[in-house]
Amino acid sequence: MRLGDQIEQDWDAAYAALTWQIDCGVDDFILDEPLDRFALPEARAVEVRAPAAPERPASAPPGAPRPAAYAPPPERPKIDPVVEATQAAARAKTLEALRAEIEAFSHCELKQGARTTVFADGNPKARVLILGEAPGRDEDQEGRPFVGRAGQLLDLMFAAIGLSRTSVDAETAFYITNVLPWRPPGNRDPEPGEIAMMRPFVERHIELVAPDVIVAMGNTPLFALTGTRGIMRARGTWAEALGRPLLPMTHPAYLLRNPIAKREAWDDLLTLRDRLRGA
């Protein structure tokens, strides 16, 4: 075979092989050295350039107004919950309006964890208003004050001197509400800030009911109305709050834990009965 014929055959074979590779989808040339496409690329050096200096503004023409200096946004006024409660309570002209204002009051965190707003129970025309502390578990579920064990004892206590929350007669009825309308978590004692926040509603509540006598059941209502504590020293002794006669008494829950104290509670009930009879 001549040399020219061999070269022609090699060229035809190479061309056929290249055509076959193109038909198979190969679109790159064969390199002189193998290329590992699984190897990580070398990190490229990143050129860090210094930030360009801001262009100096062109001088303003004479008489042009100077740009206003940056002023931070004004701070939002702080909300005083006691002031808000005072204004809300003053808007209430009826008990139903007061209930609506309390339910709309959003500054007391106790409301977030309570199931219901416990407003009041009994006859609003009664001569006697009983002020309790705060709802418990049973009251939070039912939406009425003093419906648990302590409430049942309270009903028995006042029934002994002829008073009932269900009576339609103002002379033989009592009306009952709490300092706080929402249950504190774990039935803990109300905090001073919570008492101060809700006091305007308590004052307005008493003003709308206009009872002849207020009975403060426990330390919290005593503190809310007089600013003093010490229910064991104050119980059974007449005082004055909001321009009305005030009789402090121990809470029925305390009597359930200390039955021996029921004797003193009975003396306090007789004191209340005599006051109502004008004795």
Give pTM, 2 decimals.
0.72
Each residue of 39-86: pLDDT tens digit? 665 555 555 566 665 565 556 566 666 666 667 777 767 889 999 999
The residue among 210, 244, 209, 250 whose CA lies nearest residue 225 is 244
Q: Burial, 115: exposed, middle or buried (Cβ in 10 Å; 0-12, 13-18, 19+)?
A: middle
- The answer to the question of residue 65 being in a domain is no
Would the pLDDT of 249 be above 90? yes
Each residue of 209-247: pLDDT tens digit? 999 999 999 999 999 999 999 999 999 999 999 999 999
| Total number of domains in the chain | 1
- The answer to the question of residue 28 being in a domain is no
- The answer to the question of residue 12 being in a domain is no
Each residue of 107-123: pLDDT tens digit? 999 999 999 999 999 99
Which residues make Cβ contacts (< 8 Å) with residue 162, sequence separation at least 6?
A: 172, 273
CATH for 202: 3.40.470.10
- The answer to the question of residue 151 being in a domain is yes
Q: Burial, 218: exposed, middle or buried (Cβ in 10 Å; 0-12, 13-18, 19+)?
A: buried
- The answer to the question of residue 137 being in a domain is yes
- The answer to the question of residue 44 being in a domain is no
The residue among 133, 102, 134 whose CA lies nearest residue 221 is 133
Position 72 scores a pLDDT of 74
Would you say 80 and 198 are in contact if contact means Cβ atoms under 8 Å apart? Answer: no
- The answer to the question of residue 262 being in a domain is yes
Average pLDDT over residues 175-200: 96
Q: How far is CA 89 from CA 37, 100, 186, 201, 252, in A?
A: 78, 10, 28, 5, 29
- The answer to the question of residue 51 being in a domain is no
Each residue of 76-98: pLDDT tens digit? 678 899 999 999 999 999 999 99
Q: Which domain holds residue 170?
A: 81-277
